[in-house]
Chains A and B, each alone.
Chain A
Amino acid sequence: MNRLLPLGLILLVAVYPFIFDSNFAINFGILVLFFALIGQSWNIAGGFAGQLSFGHAAFFGIGAYCSTILQLRFGVNPWLGLPASVAGGALAGALIALLSFRAGLRGSYFALITLAFAEAFRIIANSLAITGGGVGLLIPMQRSAANFQFPSRIGFYYVIAALAVLSIAVALWLKRSRFGARLAAIRENEDAARALGIDTFREKVKVMALSGGMCAAGGTFYAQYYLYIDPAVAFGVDKSVEMLLVTMIGGAGTVYGPLIGSLLLTLVGEVTRNLTEAQGLSLIIYGCLLVVIIGFLPNGLVELFRMRRRRRA
């Protein structure tokens, strides 16, 4: 069963646009996979390694700006911009981790400093000429696959599907690898992990680099899909919170948690949008879900599936 799950998932994701081929359905699929990707990037650090971040928008924004600036100012093709963004996000992740963990910050303090870094990046992006300041950057429309601007949404769908599946593969690998086991040890008890001979500092820097790189890929995708970014969208608190929410609600530290959380939250978002024109209802529900899940279901919605399976066994 467990071995078939990834294959079934890939199949489902691959045939989805053939079954539901309306623009609405494709866009829905893109949103689900997009939040699954950036949620998974948060999950790698926040769930697997227990390093809670309130500022993952820092990496998302770096990804979005990196490829866009390369493209607009230096004429670099966004397909090449994507790996550059990933490298930029990984570098930022490693640097923030290096500074914060060298200073011995843990738990809530680490969460707060990541928030401050994202805010600092937002202000920098808001005041430099190269980032377009508060106005943001508009990518000129030149629809072609070679340009990472697909003429139809299906192209975007398969790109984000590939990235999301890849992120799940990374999570699956973490579950099985020694690196993942060391991260779990750090999450459960950092002092004990160190006593066992794990270089906790190095592992934490490595996982933040991995997480930052993955998140930045989401940033590049976002910029290419919407063709517009500004400091508030790229580095704002909202993005950091959305990544945290899909993961915490789906199940932090689990492989499929971010995907399940993303599916649920995107569904709730679409339903509430049809119910009312007033903004905010979906986030009221997300916030309540977060509180309830932390109170009663610390492993997220994934736990519900597990409980059922256990009961059957």
Chain B
Amino acid sequence: MDATILGAAAINGLLLGGSYALVAVGLTLIYGVLHIINFAHGSLLMLAMYGVYFLLTKANVDPYAALPLMVAAMFAGGYLLYRAVIGRFSHGKDENILLITLGLAIVLENIALFFFTGDTQTITVSYSYEMVALGPALVPLPKLVSFLASLVLCGALALFIARTDAGKAIRAVAKERHGARLVGIDVDKMLAVAYGIGIACLGAAACLLMPSFYVTPTVGHLFVIVAFTIVVLGGMGSFVGALLGALIIGLTESLAGLFLGEALGQIGIPLVFILILLFRPTGLFGAGK
């Protein structure tokens, strides 16, 4: 195998992983704090991607300029969704929450199908096809932007959780709900805030993805298994794990595609997922049980 091709595939894989990172970090935050598996993650990302699409096509807002707006909108959406549906029904077993978020995913996906049809939509901006030389690889500018911005935003989120009072409250709720309530933290509110932040990550991810990706009502399926794989690989609830997991998975996907061909190469991700769950379910950086 030619070293140049291998190097190019590796760089593309890392860039791909970067764009997965925000999606996975949002998922791992929700798991770490709320201890729920958010199956609606992919379809909420899909909704955000349609948001970016319509902002550009209807209101002529550049996807990158739309980022603050999308983050705010998705945060509000996630907060309300938790308050109105998930929190209200979350009495009982974790399987029930899994099923409720599955129900939400079905509803959201089909609302998109009903109103936007199943057609694939893409956006074109002036920088869509600009290429940047990166070592042996020639990569599209939007992918590089997405990678860098995604790392910066993950870092910012980690700082927020580590340094601010709100972040401290969220960590307290994650560790010890009853204790948090005793010291005067509004636990239900913080849970909704944490869910909102997890979903806000999807708003940012959608803005970064859209210039080099497409959207259909089922585009979330692509990201669901990928995001779960990353989160399980990195250890459920671990921030650093999600980030490193995203890069590893991006690499895996790109290299599997190179060695096994486009069709069979897709098996890399479910295979990693199955192997990790079978042999090390706490993940690479998980705390263990």
Residues of A within 8 A of B279 (CB): 103
Q: Quick one: given A241-B102, A288-B107, are A120 and B95 in contact (CB under 8 Å)?
A: no
Q: Give complex CA distance A54, B98 in Å.
A: 10
Q: Which residue of B lies closest to A115 (CB)?
A: B225
Q: Give complex CA distance A97, B97 in Å.
A: 23
- CB of B85 closer than 8 Å to a CB of A: yes
A113 partner, pick from B117, B221, B277, beta carbons under 8 A: B277
Is B270 within 8 A of A109, CB to CB?
Answer: no
- CB of B6 closer than 8 Å to a CB of A: no
Is B277 within 8 A of A124, CB to CB?
Answer: no
Is B103 within 8 A of A99, CB to CB?
Answer: no
As a 0/1 sequence over residues 277 to 288 of chain B, the CB contacts with chain A under 8 angstroms (1 = contact) are 111010000000
Residues of A within 8 A of B102 (CB): 54, 241, 244, 290
Is B114 within 8 A of A284, CB to CB?
Answer: yes
User: How distant is A104 from chain B, measured CB to nearest CB, in Å?
Assistant: 8
B274 partner, pick from A54, A117, A245, beta carbons under 8 A: A117
Residues of B within 8 A of A103 (CB): 277-279, 281
Is B95 within 8 A of A291, CB to CB?
Answer: no
Q: Which residue of B lies closest to A54 (CB)?
A: B102
Q: Give complex CA distance A116, B175 in Å.
A: 30
Which A282-313 residues sit within 8 Å CB-CB of chain B?
283-284, 286-288, 290-291, 294-295, 298
Residues of B within 8 A of A284 (CB): 106-107, 110-111, 114
- Considering only CB atoms and an 8 Å cut-off, how many residues of chain A contact the other chain? 43
Q: Which residue of A lies closest to B232 (CB)?
A: A112
Stretch at the interface among A1-9, A85-93, A142-150, A273-281: A273-281
Is A127 within 8 A of B263, CB to CB?
Answer: yes
Q: Quick one: given A124-B264, A281-B110, are A295 and B99 in contact (CB under 8 Å)?
A: no
Q: Quick one: given A103-B277, A107-B94, are A288 and B113 in contact (CB under 8 Å)?
A: no
Contact sample, A vs B, 13 pairs, CB 8 Å cutoff = A99-B278, A103-B279, A111-B95, A112-B232, A115-B225, A123-B267, A279-B110, A279-B113, A287-B104, A288-B103, A294-B103, A295-B88, A298-B92
Q: Give complex CA distance A124, B266 in Å.
A: 9
Q: Which residue of B lies closest to A288 (CB)?
A: B107
- CB of B100 closer than 8 Å to a CB of A: yes
Residues of A within 8 A of B107 (CB): 283-284, 287-288, 291
Q: Quick one: given A105-B277, A241-B106, A280-B111, are A294 and B221 in contact (CB under 8 Å)?
A: no
- CB of B4 closer than 8 Å to a CB of A: no
Residues of B within 8 A of A120 (CB): 267, 270-271, 274
Residues of A within 8 A of B100 (CB): 290-291, 294-295
Q: Which residue of B lies closest to A282 (CB)?
A: B110
As a 0/1 sequence over residues 240 to 259 of chain A, the CB contacts with chain B under 8 angstroms (1 = contact) are 01001100100000000000
A116 partner, pick from B89, B93, B104, B274, beta carbons under 8 A: B274
- CB of A126 closer than 8 Å to a CB of B: yes
- CB of B53 closer than 8 Å to a CB of A: no
As a 0/1 sequence over residues 225 to 247 of chain B, the CB contacts with chain A under 8 angstroms (1 = contact) are 10011001000000000000000
Is B111 within 8 A of A116, CB to CB?
Answer: no
- CB of A190 closer than 8 Å to a CB of B: no
Is A280 within 8 A of B94, CB to CB?
Answer: no
Is A248 within 8 A of B99, CB to CB?
Answer: yes
Please indicate which of the listed interface residues B104, B221, B273 has the most CB atoms of chain A within 10 Å of its own CB.
Answer: B273
Q: Which residue of A lies closest to B225 (CB)?
A: A119
Residues of B within 8 A of A281 (CB): 110, 114
B positions within 8 Å CB-CB of A = 37, 85, 88-89, 92-96, 98-100, 102-107, 109-115, 117-118, 217, 221, 225, 228-229, 232, 261, 263-264, 266-267, 270-271, 273-274, 277-279, 281
Q: Which residue of B lies closest to A279 (CB)?
A: B113
- CB of A234 closer than 8 Å to a CB of B: no
Is B277 within 8 A of A116, CB to CB?
Answer: yes
Residues of B within 8 A of A119 (CB): 225, 270
Residues of B within 8 A of A209 (CB): none
Q: Give complex CA distance A284, B104 in Å.
A: 9
Q: Which residue of A lies closest to B108 (CB)?
A: A287
Residues of B within 8 A of A104 (CB): 281
Residues of A within 8 A of B98 (CB): 52, 107-108, 111
Q: Which residue of A lies closest to B280 (CB)?
A: A103
Which A42-56 residues sit within 8 Å CB-CB of chain B?
52, 54
Residues of B within 8 A of A123 (CB): 263-264, 266-267, 270
Q: Give complex CA distance A54, B94 in Å.
A: 15
B273 partner, pick from A52, A116, A279, beta carbons under 8 A: A116
Q: Give complex CA distance A284, B108 in Å.
A: 8
Q: Quick one: given A116-B273, A116-B274, A237-B221, are A108 and B264 in contact (CB under 8 Å)?
A: no
Q: Which residue of B lies closest to A245 (CB)?
A: B106
Is B228 within 8 A of A112, CB to CB?
Answer: yes
Q: Give complex CA distance A116, B93 in Å.
A: 22
Q: Give complex CA distance A155, B113 in Å.
A: 35
Q: Which residue of B lies closest to A52 (CB)?
A: B95
Residues of A within 8 A of B117 (CB): 278-279
Is A286 within 8 A of B106, CB to CB?
Answer: yes
